[in-house]
A = this chain, B = another copy of it.
């Protein structure tokens, strides 16, 4: 059995990274729709169509036990449709992360950072308010964080990185939040710099870890008999842009096996 992970590009590799940490013995197959990235600027109908393409591809080519939608945009609009179509559970990034943040927070003042598209969608706020109607949420789009992560400019010892983080998060800190959702799969790469800049009372709710724990919890019985000294690690992409492997390895935190280029 294989965990399928689907993202619009490389960002979902941080979720895969967390899954490998949480369930090292289980096989995984990753599909990055790198030819059509980013999804954030597309209509909901288009994103649903792309997500269905991706889910169909993974279902046909792998023996899936669960499909993880490791893309904020697709999670916001396509999880319901995918659940109707697939025979295996579908896990998006938004609900597990919102649940994790609500649990972490003592004062229910929760910050959310993400791309402009995610922040405009208010998907995290909606999910938080379903779980904790009195929670206060404070959201901030951080458009420089994705290119920072892709450039590899992420060190907490880099004054430039810390200045950019400070500029974005200064206002959130003033709002007395005690929990901050990293609402973009690129942001775990900046977690150390973000932690350094924020006061220690603020805890980070990392989507990658939240999703990995959700999958592990749902699947522990199914996976407990799995034993493999060399579990499957398959990587599919719809395009191999220059520098892909270098960026991908930074996100995955490990060497990546040669990606297989496919047409969806």
Contact = CB atoms under 8 A, between A and B. Distances in A.
A255 B43 CA distance: 28
Interface string A157-186: 001100110010000000000000000000
A242 interface: yes
Contacts of A144: 144, 147-148, 151
Contacts of A35: 41-43
A37 interface: yes
12 contacts: A35-B42, A37-B41, A41-B241, A116-B241, A120-B241, A143-B151, A144-B148, A144-B151, A146-B147, A159-B163, A160-B163, A160-B164
A206 interface: no
Contact of A143 (B34, B37, B150): B150
A213 to B, nearest CB: 31
Contacts of A241: 41, 116, 120
Interface in A233-261: 239, 241-243
Contact of A147 (B36, B143, B159): B143
Interface in A61-75: none
A38 to B, nearest CB: 8
A216 B211 CA distance: 56
A144 B149 CA distance: 10
Contacts of A159: 163
- The 4 A-B pairs at the shortest CB distance, nearest first, are namely A143-B147, A144-B147, A160-B163, A120-B242
A120 B242 CA distance: 8
A41 to B, nearest CB: 6
Contacts of A151: 143-144
A243 B141 CA distance: 12
A150 B41 CA distance: 15
Interface in A1-59: 34-38, 41-43
Contacts of A36: 41
A43 to B, nearest CB: 7
